[in-house]
Amino acid sequence: MKLKIAMILIFILTNGILYYTNTQTKNERIDLILNEQIKDLETHYNLTMDYFIQDAKTIKNNIDNNKKIIKLFSQAQNATKEQRDILRDKLYKLLAPQYGRIHSRGILQFQFVFPDNKCFLRMHKPSKYGDDLTNIRYSFKQANKTKETIIGFEQGRTTHAFRYAYPYYDKQGNHLGAIETSLSSHFLQEKLLSVNKIHSHFLVNKNIFDVKAWETKDLIQKYMPSIEHKDYMFALTNHSNKGKLINKEKTIISKLREQINNKIALKKPFAVYKNLEHSTNIITFLPITNTQQKDVVAYVVSYNDNQTIYNIIKDYNKANIVRLVGLLLLCYFIYRNLNYKNELEEEVELKTKSLNNKNTKLQEQAKILTQIHRELEDSEYELEEINKNLENRIIEEVEKNKHIQEQLFKSEKLASMGDMIGNIAHQWRQPLSVISTASTGIVMQKEYGILDETNLIDTCNKINDNAQYLSKTIDDFKNFIKGDRTKKLFSLKKDVDSFLHLVEGSIKTHNINMILDLQEDIKIDGYENELTQCLINIFNNAKDELIKKDTNVSFDSTNKKNYNNEDRLIFITTSTNKDKAIIKIKDNGGGILKDILPKVFEPYFTTKHQSQGTGLGLHMTYNLIVDGMNGTIEATNDSFEYGGKNYTGAEFIITLPLS
């Protein structure tokens, strides 16, 4: 009975520890994917806003250089009502063709106001003018008061928009008032869908609307209650489908209602997910602040299907079942063997007592002793058979464990490939943005009649250069994922350059400063692709630690984070010593704890410094270097000075035989 209770307790404790570890790993991997979704939506949103700001600046330059517009707006300053009506009509007819073109690009509103914030002309509604916008439009009030450009999201009398308001002057420097261009949230959604293939909702807090506006039929943008949160209204678009919205609310949002409400109350970007029948749906919320109070008044919400999270949860459930069944069988096997041994000992004890009680007849005692001896021999034979079976079982379990370890190594490789795909996404954003901006510039220059041959050639060259860069990124990624395990002579410097190109997107995204000291003529006879994998594993561990550092953060006018990348350093040095090539990779992440340092290359060992993945990254690196390439690798902590500052960090030293 005691043995049974002990085995039950051991089973419960072991199963609890393994379940907790498996759950933590699953949650960490899912959180990583959710954070990437937030960053991806922020990037696409910022690119779209950059497109709008560049468009608004181009419109501003055209208006600033148009003498007719300046003259009409200047004459209207001190004109009578009748004179202003005439001047307004002339200005409207002059700007009508231009407004038609910019309206097709998403510019919803284009209007002129006087220094006292009274409206002179609304291009989108020329019949409405003369109203005082001081207490309605913060951007006009500030632009006229401070003589500075105001950019941001703002609610007007009947609609919301992303606004670009700036002070306007005549050629003599006299302040004439302010001009505004506004981008509708409808166009933002269209841009995210058509260019970036992101299906999004735009939610506006219903408290920012004037209640009277809801009682009229004068709203430019149509709304309906949001399915995501009761305090927000959903901006309808041509792609809106009420049937699909109702279905999403029933199948996804209703299950996440409490979680969404709690996170929206924090007013920070977040992402949640719902596991469906064949995939997982991720809903990402990006908060939008207003220009006046810097308070969250709207959200861009994206919906994306993600097969990776679905597979993680599926594998997690399978692992729990396999673990539970395997642990039950193992405990039962151990219990059965221990119980059999106890029963055998009890049987021997009983027979010994029987022998002592039958001491009257020596012959009978001899027979009893002989019988006991035979039974003991049989028992020993049975024990030998059990031991043989146990040895075979142990060999089978060892082989299974090796197979599982090989599968986990493959999983780690796939995880690295996932990181590479993320890196390609980061590396492509800039050249894609340059290509988009350059092509848009050609179209606009053509529309305004300012396109010349030199400009056209330079722009086409810029597009071609960025296209070549995209092609090179694809070639480097193909070479990495081929998994071509062929031993050959290769240049160490070229291999390091290839590795840096593969992680270039991650370096730029996390503002990491790479300091290189590479010897040119080092040749190694080994597996080039596997060495690249090792460098990526070590880089990812250093990157994760650097991201956790408390760096100085500031914000620019578009509320983007600017990191002081002088505090995020990774050094790579290559050299030779006799017949050995030496690679040193060092960071300033604070180093590895002394009690953890000897364990970093053990399988399944992970810390907060290595909290992503399966805990096999450095173990796989150790095997690839030591077993695969006859080299050595060690991890140490190093204190050093750089740029007049003292740092402490982890240093990995790889030694490989020269060719």
Average pLDDT of span 384-401:
74
Task: Supply the pLDDT for residue 616.
Answer: 64
Q: How many residues does the chain have?
A: 659
Distance CA 391, CA 388 (A): 5
3-state secondary structure 565-576: HHHCEEEEEEEE
Instruction: Supply the mean pLDDT for the chain.
Output: 81
The answer, yes or no, to whether residue 289 has pLDDT greater than 90, is no
pLDDT digits (tens, 9 = 90+) for 460-474: 876 876 676 667 666
pLDDT digits (tens, 9 = 90+) for 544-567: 889 887 544 443 444 444 444 458
Task: Supply the pLDDT for residue 568.
Answer: 92
Candidates 120, 614, 276; CA nearest to 415 is: 614
Task: Supply the pLDDT for residue 327.
Answer: 87
pLDDT digits (tens, 9 = 90+) for 166-217: 999 988 999 999 999 988 777 777 777 766 667 777 888 887 765 434 344 4
344 compared with 480, residue with greater pLDDT: 344
DSSP 3-state of 109 = strand
Distance CA 286, CA 455 (A): 38
Average pLDDT of span 303-326:
89
pLDDT digits (tens, 9 = 90+) for 327-340: 889 888 888 888 78
H-assigned helices in 65-80: 67-75
pLDDT digits (tens, 9 = 90+) for 73-122: 999 999 999 999 999 999 999 999 999 888 888 888 899 999 999 999 99
* Across 50-64, 349-363, 631-645, least confident range: 349-363
Question: In one letter, which amino acid is 306?
Answer: N
Q: Which two tokens stand for residue 290?
A: 């207003």
Average pLDDT of span 610-614:
48
Average pLDDT of span 118-137:
90
Average pLDDT of span 512-539:
92
The answer, yes or no, to whether residue 482 has pLDDT greater than 60, is no
Average pLDDT of span 437-442:
79
Distance CA 386, CA 333 (A): 11
Dihedral (CA of 592, 595, 601, 606) sign? negative
Distances, alpha carbon 295 to alpha carbons 60, 211, 292, in Å:
28, 20, 8
The answer, yes or no, to whether residue 381 has pLDDT greater than 50, is yes
The answer, yes or no, to whether residue 352 has pLDDT greater than 80, is no
Task: Supply the pLDDT for residue 555.
Answer: 39
Any idea what DSSP says for residue 132?
Answer: B
Average pLDDT of span 388-409:
68
Predicted TM-score (pTM) of the model is 0.49
Dihedral (CA of 548, 550, 556, 559) sign? positive
DSSP 3-state of 92 = helix
Q: Which two tokens stand for residue 106?
A: 């998403």
Distance CA 55, CA 49 (A): 10
Percent of the chain with pLDDT over 70: 81
Identify whether the C-beta of residue 614 lies closer than 8 Å to the C-beta of residue 405. Answer: no
**In a 10 Å sphere around its CB, with 0-12 CB exposed, 13-18 middle and 19+ buried, how is residue 226 labelled?**
buried
pLDDT digits (tens, 9 = 90+) for 400-424: 755 665 565 556 556 556 655 655 6
Task: Supply the pLDDT for residue 655.
Answer: 96
